[in-house]
Every structure is written in C-alpha cells, then in structure tokens.
Amino acid sequence: MNHPVKIKNALVSVYYKDNLAPLVKLLNQYGVTFYSTGGTEAFIREQGIDVVPVEDLTSYPSILGGRVKTLHPKVFGGILARRPLASDQEQLAQYEIPEIDLVIVDLYPFEETVASGAAAQDIIEKIDIGGISLIRAAAKNFNDVVIISSKNDYTELENILAGQEGQTTLEQRKEFAKRAFNTSSHYDTAIFNYFNQEAPLPVFKQSVQQAQTLRYGENPHQKGTFYGDLDAMFDKLNGKELSYNNLVDVDAAVAIIDEFTDPTFAILKHTNACGVASRGTVKQAWIDALACDPVSAFGGVLITNGEVDKETAEEINSLFFEVLIAPAYTEEALSVLTAKKNRIILKRKAVELPTAQFKTLLNGVILQDKDHTVEGPEEMTTVTTAQPTEAQLKDLHFANKIVKHTKSNTIVFAKDNTLIASGVGQTSRVDALKQAIEKAQAFGFEIKGSVMASDAFFPFPDCVEIAGDAGVVAVLQPGGSIKDQLSTDMANEKGVAMVVTGVRHFKH
C-alpha cells in the first residue's frame, strides 16, 4: 500500500450519529483511543467504549456556551503535526500532544436552519467554527491523517479499515480530504450567500452538492451533467433517464405551465410552446392544445397542471412524445402511459424554485432575476379608439403568458384561451408574424377574431397593418418605440384595438 498509516488516536465530535456506532466499535477493536466532546462523548460511552474528554486533553473546559471546545494547540497540534519532521515530533513530546490520526467531525446544520425560517440569532449560532477548523486542519494534513466530514462516509471508512487491518493508504486519505474541502467550501458558500442578500457584494458563488451524469450534452460529442436534486422536484414513474435536451425543455415547460391556474395543457418543442389551451377539463385542454400544431408536437414535452385520468391518458397515448409531466396521475392512467417503456413520465412535486437564473458566457457568468411579471388586463393601457372587449382582454392576457416564454422575436395569436399559432426566434418581427399566419393557416385556424401579442414594441406600423388585414381584432405590445404613434394610427385605420403594457419580454 502507498504510505499506509495505522490509526492510533481518533477525535470524534459529530452532530449526526447515524451509522456511527459500527465504525466506532471497529476502531475500538483495533485499539484506537478516542477523544470526544459533549453528546458524541456520551454516545461513545453508550457503546461500552472508553473515551477521553477533550477537556482532559486540553485542561480547559468547554466555554462560552460551547462556542469554544476544541480550539486548542493540543488538539490542532496533534492533527497538524508532520510525522516525518523531527522538530514537530520534538514539540509533540515537549508539550505532551498525542498524534491524532483520524478526525470524524461534521458541521452544524446551517442550511437546514435557514430553510426552517429560524430567527437570525439561531441561524448565527449554527455557523460552525471549531468543526470547520478541524476539518480543514485534518484535510490539509492528509499525508498522515484521515478526515471524515460526512455521515455518508462512515460505512466506506469502516469497509476500508476492515479490509486493511485498521490502515489507510495515501490515496484514500487524499480522497477523503477532497471530500472534506468540498464540505467546507459548500458550507462557507451557504453562509456567504445568506449574508449577501442585502446590498450584495458583486460576487458570484454557487455550490451544488448533487450531480447526475447525463448521456451527453446537446449533441452526442458533448459531455453533460446536471447539478441539482431532480428527485426533490419529480418522481420518475417511467422511462429512460432524462437527457440534457429533455431537461432544458422540462425547465421551459415548468416555467410556462406555472403561469396558469385553470386546467391547462402545454406542448413544447425546443423550449417553445407549439400548443397551449386552458379548458374546463384536462382532457379537453389536451385535445385543443394538440390541435394547435400536431406536427411539431411529435416528440415533444407535454405538461399539465391537473391530474391525468384514464380518458386523458388514452388520448395522449396516440402521440409519440419524450416527456409527460403532471402533478398527479390515476392508476388507470399510468397503466396506459407506461405501456411504452421509453416514455418519461414525471410526477411533479411541490418545491421552491430559484428566483434567479445564470449561465456561463464568454469568460464569465451572467446572472439575472427570473421574469416573474405577466401583465394582466389591469396593466394594459388602451391607446386606440377601438376598446378591447372583456373577452379580448382575457385572450390578450393568455397570449401574453405564452409570448413571455417564447424565443424572440416572437408573435403569438390566441383565441378563446387557445394558442392559435406563433412565430418564434425570428430575426425580424415581420418574419415572426408571417410565420405565425402561415402556421395558423396550415392547421386550419381562423385568424379572424383572434388577438395578437408581441414580446417587444413595433418599430414600424407594418406588423399592425398585416395583422389587421389578417383579421386580428386586438393587439398587445409593450410600447416604447419612438414611432409608437404610427402603429397606433395604423391600428385605428384598421379598426383594431391595441393595448400597451410598458413591459418587454425578450427571451434569448
């Protein structure tokens, strides 16, 4: 073995004691001397094992309400001493400091305390000082010291020691040190981000402890990894593992469905909605959403905000799709939907989503608040002679929810809580409008009597003119162009009602 070290002395002081007993008992069999504090000391004694209180080693009691227990040269000296260095060995002997070969320490549950909504003082008391210092010291001296900083590693160390007669190799100690520095850096990031909420420093820090290797990235020649806890958000009831592209589409699907409260179905392809409908039932919402663009729906991601029953599942079953997401399914529905093993069926769980989004760009990272704004009828200002009816205002609101989640430049047609057609990701707004008209006509939708929403202002009156000629009765746009009046004049000429919101919804 590479530089084997036999454990003689261990410092054990942990918050979580799950699965600790078997490891402690094994160490005791190898004649290890234990040093400990407080509850862990009592726990070790309960196993029938002798333990030396840290106070006996340092000749100092735990003081300041437990804030200072292990911060002492006799503890840190035993951890940090360089075993091969004669001068270090001389000082250990001079000050009667035992070599500590194993440190098992975890940290106060800071993140859990913040998440619980605890008072500020309770949160501050969960900032670990001694524990984080012990972890860093032991990890730094991995050449001779084993550091265990998580209860998840107890069993692994137990297996190593059992297989190697109480010894560890340098490679094993270095691996545990790597994990320890991950523990400490994640902990410090959580504390910093807690303090950095008000008047934040211009610093970007993120630490995610869970990861899932994906089959590949956007394309097979690209590697892909998801960092996060998908199990907290979804129960996967059927199908293969989610791919990188699946996850991007699922994210977009969740974002758009959360805009709606009535029973709604949305169908997405490459993050853009190709079908959305709100109806009295989930089944009817599905039927009408699919009718928007059944061609693009093939191989898409489907999402609803209501329970999927057997009848709805039988309707969905005729389409090839990648992913279906719903908050609930009946047993009969699952029996239908899971007949094909590769279909990914996700049951969405209630979980708080981040309020900011970021991505790598150039040689850095850009971060922004999520766009949580959708302007309803109360935020719409009519600028034309023609006034939108109550039904038209409702449809404009519906269209505005969709246009917000569609790639710019984009135009959305809607009528009766249904997406009629959209033009997405075009380099000009006129092209987006023409694309939407063409798609509506291709699937037999009547544009006459529909409403139109635009994600940004009209720089020229041409879009309003084309829409009016096509039969659009009401238009929503943010306004803000120096030529807004030309678009208003055109709307008046065509007898179209137009409202402005003052809020742009670019999506790049």
- Distance from chain centroid for Cα 255: 13
Q: Is the CA virtual torsion 307, 312, 316, 317 positive or negative?
A: positive
Active-site position among 17, 186, 236, 270:
270
Q: Does the annotation count 25 as an active-site position?
A: no
Distance CA 322, CA 320 (A): 7
Q: Which of helix, strand or coil describes residue 420? A: strand
Point out which residues pair with 451 in neighbouring strands: 414, 474
Distance CA 290, CA 448 (A): 21
CA distances from 343 to 30, 213, 338, 384 (A): 52, 20, 7, 49
Measured between its terminal Cα atoms, the distance across the chain in Å is 55
Q: What is the dihedral of CA 431, 435, 438, 442, to 10 degrees?
A: 170
Active-site position among 8, 25, 126, 140:
140
The answer to whether the beta carbons of residues 255 and 303 sit under 8 Å apart is: no
Q: Which residues of 129-148 are buried (b: 16+ CB within 10 A; e: fewer)?
A: ebbbbbbbbbbebbebbbbb
The answer to whether the beta carbons of residues 477 and 458 sit under 8 Å apart is: yes
Distance CA 425, CA 397 (A): 21
Structure token digits, residue 466: 């084309």
Structure token digits, residue 298: 């093939």
The answer to whether the beta carbons of residues 459 and 332 sit under 8 Å apart is: no
Interior CA angle at 451 toward 450 and 452, to 5°? 130
The 3-class secondary structure across 173-227, one letter per residue, is HHHHHHHHHHHHHHHHHHHHHHHCCCCCCCCCCCCCCCEEECCCCCCCCCCCEEE
DSSP 470: H
Q: Which helix (H) or strand (E) holds 113?
A: helix 110-115
- Amino acid (1-letter code) at residue 207: S
DSSP letters spanning 474-485 = EEEE----TTHH
DSSP 283: H
The answer to whether the beta carbons of residues 7 and 176 sit under 8 Å apart is: no
Order of all β-strands in the sheet with 381-382: 381-382, 497-500, 474-477, 451-454, 411-414, 419-423
Q: Does the annotation count 17 as an active-site position?
A: no
- Amino acid (1-letter code) at residue 325: I
- Residues designated as active site: 140, 270
